[in-house]
Amino acid sequence: MLHGKKFILGITGSIAAYKAAYLTRLLKKQGAEVKIILTPYGKEFITPVTLATLSDNTVLTDFFKHDDGAWNSHVELGLWADAMIIAPATANTIAKMANGVCDNLLLTTYLSARCPVIVAPAMDLDMFQHPATQANLKTLESYGNHIIEPATGELASGLEGKGRMEEPEKIVTWLEGFLKKKQRFTGKKVLITAGPTFEKIDPVRFIGNYSSGKMGLALAEALVEEGADVSLILGPNLEVGNPRLHRVRRESGIGNRQAEIGRISLIHVVSGEEMYKEAHEIYPDMDVSIMAAAVADFKPLDPKESKIKGKEKGFSIDLVPNPDIAKELGKLKRADQLNIGFALETDEGLESALAKKHRKNFDLIVLNSLQDQGAGFGGDTNQITLIAKDNKPRKFELKSKKDVAKDILDEIVRIGNQDQKLFP
């Protein structure tokens, strides 16, 4: 299962570093390639010689090789790996990762890595429970990292509690599960529309809505983790605090309309018309299209080129319909394509969601009702009802948008394999 996979194993200064030796051995036994980065304190707990022998690779500890001045490129390392595992991860390293501190090779590699990062904490129970550590772990998760919870038992301090680094066998099993799941969307091209659209009234005003694009971004992230090639057409929302998007912006400069990171290619648009053009162009190439954008239904008939002056009496704007992207793509849909839509309703909305599903030729519709607390626009949670081909609604619990994205992907795989075998 892990044969041919490339791992960076980061080892920090914890007594559990001895378990990292065994973890290296297990990964190597499965045919994986392992490159180890040891922090300066890590070296106090386990020797580079042991780890170099077990990993069959030079152990990296410094930015430079002191004898010949050669440089260890953290950027190359981060691009090389299929996954980076930090085991054991001390409270100190976790705190630095959460805050972007990069004063050693492991941390610079983490900050520039494009692969999934998995963190296996190891520390005393009180350190683990401390609100600062818990907040740092939450921050790391919100950045898209994965945490393998520590186990409960005897600790190096002599105390008993939660804080023992998870056993190497269990970490390997976790990695197998993670990488296997990843493969469900390998080779699949997925289009996502997300965020609001802004419809120009004049150079300083627009018609828009409160959509944050967070659900579409959570879907994009979940899909990339499962191997998909994602084209994300994103409406104008600069408030989205998504780290992956952050990275895209940093690399491309906000002015660029198209950028590529990992396997998300990001296309910035402003209006519904632009979103339609971009989506229409790439649609024939797509296997799955998820329309999560809150496209403005109407746009001003005659947007002005100069600012409309204040008028005491008020004025009216003539509106005309925007293209219905989902409906137009629904007309083009082939038997080997799946279209997924969203319905945001202010009431229960089952009937209206069903009608939308038929009208727009969706294979699956995701209903969120603004009646449910924590669902819909802006927040980090959502509560959804899925309606697939059988037209039977299935209501899910309130979850983080990340977990909601996983439920949606499971359903896409299920319906894709009902009549045809679209997914492995």
Neighbours of 348 (CB within 10 A): 14
Judged by CB under 6 A, the stretch of 33-41, 142-150, 248-256, 319-327 that binds ligand C5P is: 319-327
* DSSP string across 279-348: HHHHGGG-SEEEE--B--SEEESS--SSPPPP-TT-----EEEPP-HHHHHHHH--TT-EEEEEEEESS-
Q: How far is the CB of 185 from ligand C5P (least distance, A)?
A: 20
Binding segment for ligand C5P (CB under 6 A), chosen from 43-51, 117-125, 292-300, 369-377, is: 292-300
Question: Which residues ranging from 145 to 184 are in contact with ligand C5P (CB under 6 A)?
Answer: none
Q: Segment 48-107, which members bind ligand C5P (CB under 6 A)?
A: none
Q: How far is the CB of 356 from ligand C5P (least distance, A)?
A: 5
Q: Which residues, 6+ apart, have CB-to-CB distance to 272 below 8 Å?
A: 197, 199, 295, 296, 299, 322, 323, 325
Q: What φ, ψ does residue 174 adopt, rounded to 5°?
A: -60, -45
CA angle 369, 370, 375 (to 5 degrees): 80
Q: Which residues pair with 300 in a beta bridge?
A: 319
Shortest separation between residue 86's beta carbon and ligand C5P, angstroms:
38
Distance between CA 331 and CA 314 in Å, rounded? Answer: 41
Binding range to ligand C5P, per CB under 6 A, among 219-227, 254-262, 322-330, 386-394: 322-330
Cis peptide preceding 323, ω within 30 of 0: no
- Name the DSSP class of 158: S
Least separation in angstroms between CB 391 and ligand C5P: 17
Catalytic residue among 104, 209, 382, 391: 209
Select from 378, 359, 377, 357 the least CA-distant residue to 368: 377
Nearer to ligand C5P, 2 or 366 (CB): 366
Q: How far is the CB of 221 from ligand C5P (least distance, A)?
A: 19
Interface with ligand C5P (CB under 6 A), residue from 326, 375, 404, 415? 326
Pairing assessment for the beta strands 385-387 and 364-369 based on DSSP bridges = antiparallel
391 as an active site residue: the answer is: no
Name the one range near ligand C5P by CB under 6 A: 105-113, 160-168, 289-297, 392-400: 289-297
For ligand C5P, give the closer residue by CB, 163 or 196: 196
322 binds ligand C5P, rule: CB under 6 A: yes
Task: Please say which residue, 280 or 414, places its beta carbon nearer to ligand C5P.
Answer: 280
Task: Give the range of 30-38, 45-53, 128-136, 337-345 binding ligand C5P by CB under 6 A.
Answer: 337-345
What are the backbone dihedrals phi and psi of residue 343, each rounded to the nearest 5 degrees, phi first? -135, 115
Residue from 341, 349, 376, 416 that binds ligand C5P (CB under 6 A)? 341
Q: Which is nearer to ligand C5P, 124 or 411 (CB)?
A: 411
Binding test (CB under 6 A) with ligand C5P, winner from 23, 98, 291, 404: 291
Strands 146-147 and 338-345, sheet pairing: unpaired
Pairing of strands 288-291, 205-207: unpaired
- Which of these segments, 55-63, 92-100, 287-295, 396-404, binds ligand C5P (CB under 6 A)? 287-295
Using CB under 6 A as the binding rule, whether residue 339 contacts ligand C5P is answered as no
Q: Which residues contact 268 (CB under 8 A, 6 or more apart)?
A: 234, 236, 256, 257, 258
Under DSSP, the state recorded for 359 is H
For residue 200, the minimal CB distance to ligand C5P (Å) is 16
Which position among 325, 338, 384, 415 is part of the footprint of ligand C5P (CB under 6 A)?
A: 325
Q: What whole-number distance in Å separates Cα of residue 116 and Cα of residue 319? A: 45
Which H or E run contains 368? Answer: strand 364-369
Q: What angle do CA 103, 117, 217 make, to 5 degrees?
A: 115
Q: For the chain, first and last CA: distance in Å? A: 15
Residue type present at position 370: L
Q: Is 293 in the site for ligand C5P (CB under 6 A)?
A: yes
Site for ligand C5P in 266-285 (CB under 6 A): 272
- Contact track, ligand C5P, 188-227, x by CB under 6 A: -----x----------------------------------
According to DSSP, the residues that pair with 400 across neighbouring strands are 381
Site for ligand C5P in 358-387 (CB under 6 A): 360
Q: Which of 82, 273, 324, 403 binds ligand C5P (CB under 6 A)?
A: 324
Q: How many residues bind ligand C5P (CB under 6 A)?
A: 16
Nearer residue to ligand C5P within complex by CB, 155 or 343: 343
Any idea which residues carry the catalytic annotation?
A: 209
Give the footprint of ligand C5P on this chain (CB under 6 A).
Answer: 193, 272, 291-293, 295, 297, 322, 324-326, 341-343, 356, 360
